[in-house]
Amino acid sequence: MLLTFLLSAMMMAGLFLMLLGGVGFIQDRRFFSSAPRAVIDVVPALKQERFPGQRAVGWGMIALSLALMGGALVIGAWDGIRGGFGFRQFFLRFAVMLLGLKAFDIGFFDGFLLCNAGLNFFPHFYPETRAVLGRHLFGYNWRTHLVHIIAAFPVSALLAWICTRLQ
């Protein structure tokens, strides 16, 4: 189970790296598609590069983040196959990983960075968002979060089924 939690942390790091790459380096409004309407309205469509190659660094960060998250799933599958996991063990591993990632999204991204302006993350890159960020935004996308939480179970079951077939 320790490996499952480490792989969850690896996925969380990947998700944060994706946010940092998109918001901090690529700086394109398309990365705000899941943000509250008030935030989207004040964010410019595309910001000027602060240094040459800034967007390339951002895309590199996103590629690395996808590799981290995909790698966590592959390592979890490989370890389970090697360890002779059954369907339930695979299902539990993937459910913990996906639900942990969603909890990180809700608690850290939405609760801390967006609604409490933690570390001044968004205002650092987009000073124009300072006036619209606040605790009143928490829960603005609860339907999307609920869909993701519900979807974690069939996705975990599918991954578990695939892994048991690979044994």
Express each pLDDT in 12-68 by its tens digit: 999 999 989 988 899 888 877 777 777 778 888 778 888 999 999 999 999 999 999
* Higher per-residue confidence, 112 vs 116: 112
pLDDT at 84 over 80: yes
Alpha-carbon gap, residue 86 to 68, rounded angstroms = 25
pLDDT at 88 over 90: yes
> Cα dihedral sign for 12, 16, 17, 21?
positive
- Is 122:133 a contact under the CB 8 Å cutoff? yes
pLDDT at 150 over 80: yes
Distances (CA, A) of 50 to 20, 26, 47, 55, 65: 15, 10, 9, 10, 22
* Higher per-residue confidence, 65 vs 114: 65
Side chain identity, residue 2: L
